[in-house]
Structure 1
Amino acid sequence: MELLKVNIEQAGYEERGDVVSNVAFSLEAGQLVGLIGPNGAGKSTTIKAILGLLKRTSGEIVFSGPQGTYAYIPEHPILYEELTLWEHLELAAAAYGLGEQAFRERAGELLAQFRLSHARDQLTTSFSKGMQQKVMLILGFLTKPDVYIVDEPFIGLDPKATRELLDTLNGERKRGAAILMSTHVLDTAERICDSFILLDGGRTVAQGDLEHIRQACGMPEATLFECFHALT
């Protein structure tokens, strides 16, 4: 089942003009797609266009899942200084209309999974960067949407937290969610992604599974890291 269809003809900013052109792909239920490219390639602009945050966008973005819902997990934590971890979760649950019992069960499960149960009543401003990133992950996973859009999720996470994130992503895929993940951690992306969209200069230079990426750069035995450097 197709959960997200993206056809960005042009996208950019009033002051800078178009940054991305002719980026088209779709996400199927259970699929994890890696959005990769060097700095300035257009990954962030593509994500902003999908989220409807750019006025200067032409094309079509369609969320077509059973609920038509998505969660965005940003690269940099966005948290309220005056709220505790639990209050952040309560605010998100209220915004999404999550029932009290369902919220408490899901929140407790995620806090335990990411080893933050002990910090539920602490202000998030006292957290380390890695802990703050975990909070953003928990907020994203709280409502079980159809689609996840995740921007550089591994930054600030230690190996244990990375494993917890990967386990959670795998569980959501089994549930039927689709995931678009922007990342520079190419060795991990090669292991976990079903396919890739490789951007450079605001355009798609290669797309598909690893075999398609290898064919695009003419390197049949190459790693994703080697293909990335050959194509960008």
Structure 2
Amino acid sequence: MATALTLDRLTGGYSVRKPVLHEVSFDIQPGEMMGLIGLNGAGKSTAIKHVLGLMLPHAGEVRVAGIRLADDPERYRASCAYVPEQPSLFPNLTVAEHLRWTETAYGLETREAARRTEALAETFRMKHAMGALPGTLSKGMRQKVMLMNALLVAPPLLIIDEPFLGLDPLATRALVQALNEARAAGSAILLSSHILPALERNADRIVVLHQGRILAGGTPGEVKLAAGASGEGSTLDDAFERLIVAADEAAAAEGGAPRG
């Protein structure tokens, strides 16, 4: 089975003269959850845009399920599903109609899609809202609809931006359950979040991005060890702070502002 996502020395951004990302490399295997963490402006959204094919690399390459966007654009885009931080839904489609639209767009088998739709509605406690329009739903419920559509597709790669924001405790538990089921079925997950305890509990590996460069990567334990925060009671939050502070101090010692 092909690697779900490969970033190989990816340099990119909005301007060739001033790239946001600098030779970023990591991969995600089928069934693996990767947490992408960093301060605001670290390059997380830029990296995601490159993976989605919304931006083209200045150097290096991105592969999804083993293929590059230039090789087979249709297959590349069909191999990933994206859930943005802010829900974006069709105002005149009900929740059920959104899921049927996704079924049609991705060419899913009707009977299997219906079975998965029923299971997702049960998992996310949305059975009562399947006939509702987005304008009648809370932000958290609209977010659930976005997640349900992505999980319905079950592509090789799921990209989810800040999934825990706006979810109540039961919805958060339902999301983790659904993500674990997707992983068990072979989907890889790239999850960008500032909620580090959730990533520490659930992610297989973590990538710490700062000023467009990777500071550390590995299991949560390995990241804590790299930051010197591996003692009893240490957390991923502790490790993240240490890594950022050390990087900024090193940049200042080299004679200037943090690298960008």
- TM bin (shorter chain): over 0.9
How much has 1:212 moved relative to structure 2? 2.4
Percent identity, aligned pairs only, is 42
User: Closer, same or farther in 2 for the Cα pair 1:192/1:92, shift >3 Å?
Assistant: same
How much has 1:14 moved relative to structure 2? 4.1
Query: Which residue is equivalent to 1:131?
Result: 141
Query: Which residue is equivalent to 2:247?
Result: none
CA contact (8 A) 1:36 1:184 kept: yes
User: Closer, same or farther in 2 for the Cα pair 1:99/1:210, shift >3 Å?
Assistant: closer
Q: Which amino acid aligns with 1:46?
A: A
The two structures have a TM-score, normalised by structure 1, of 0.93
CA distance in 1 between counterparts of 2:108 and 2:80 reads 15
Residue of 217, 220, 226 corresponding to 2:227: 217
CA distance in 1 between counterparts of 2:148 and 2:184 reads 18
Aligned length: 232
Unpaired stretches in structure 2, ≥5 consecutive residues: 68-74, 245-260
How much has 1:15 moved relative to structure 2? 9.4
CA distance in 2 between counterparts of 1:210 and 1:104 reads 37
Are residue 94 (structure 1) and residue 104 (structure 2) matched?
yes
Q: Which stretch of the first structure deviates more once superposed, 216-225 or 33-42?
A: 216-225
CA contact (8 A) 1:65 1:146 kept: no
CA distance in 2 between counterparts of 1:108 and 1:95 reads 19
How much has 1:211 moved relative to structure 2? 3.0
CA distance in 1 between counterparts of 2:103 and 2:123 reads 18
CA distance in 2 between counterparts of 1:126 and 1:16 reads 46
Q: Which amino acid aligns with 2:49?
A: K
CA distance in 2 between counterparts of 1:44 and 1:144 reads 22
The Cα offsets for residues 177-219 of structure 1, whole Å up to 9 and x where unpaired, read as 2111101111111111111100111110111112321232223
- What RMSD in Å do the two structures reach over aligned CA positions? 1.9
CA distance in 2 between counterparts of 1:91 and 1:116 reads 17
How much has 1:99 moved relative to structure 2? 2.5
Query: Which residue is equivalent to 1:29?
Result: 30
How much has 1:33 moved relative to structure 2? 0.9
The Cα offsets for residues 94-132 of structure 1, whole Å up to 9 and x where unpaired, read as 110112222222212211211111111111111000000
**Equivalent residues in 2 for 1:188-199 (5 A)?**
188-199=198-209
Are residue 228 (structure 1) and residue 258 (structure 2) matched?
no
**Equivalent residues in 2 for 1:176-195 (5 A)?**
176-195=186-205
Are residue 107 (structure 1) and residue 117 (structure 2) matched?
yes
Q: Which stretch of the first structure deviates more once superposed, 21-30 or 128-137?
A: 21-30
CA contact (8 A) 1:152 1:184 kept: yes
CA distance in 2 between counterparts of 1:202 and 1:15 reads 14
CA distance in 2 between counterparts of 1:65 and 1:126 reads 41
- Higher relative contact order structure (alpha carbons within 8 Å, sequence separation ≥ 6): 1
User: Closer, same or farther in 2 for the Cα pair 1:79/1:15, shift >3 Å?
Assistant: farther
CA distance in 2 between counterparts of 1:158 and 1:43 reads 25
The Cα offsets for residues 28-63 of structure 1, whole Å up to 9 and x where unpaired, read as 122111100111111111111111111454321112
**Equivalent residues in 2 for 1:1-232 (5 A)?**
1=1, 2-14=3-15, 17-55=18-56, 57-64=58-65, 69-221=79-231, 222-232=234-244
Q: Which amino acid aligns with 1:191?
A: R
CA contact (8 A) 2:10 2:62 kept: no
The Cα offsets for residues 58-96 of structure 1, whole Å up to 9 and x where unpaired, read as 321112269862211111101111111111111111110
CA distance in 2 between counterparts of 1:34 and 1:118 reads 32
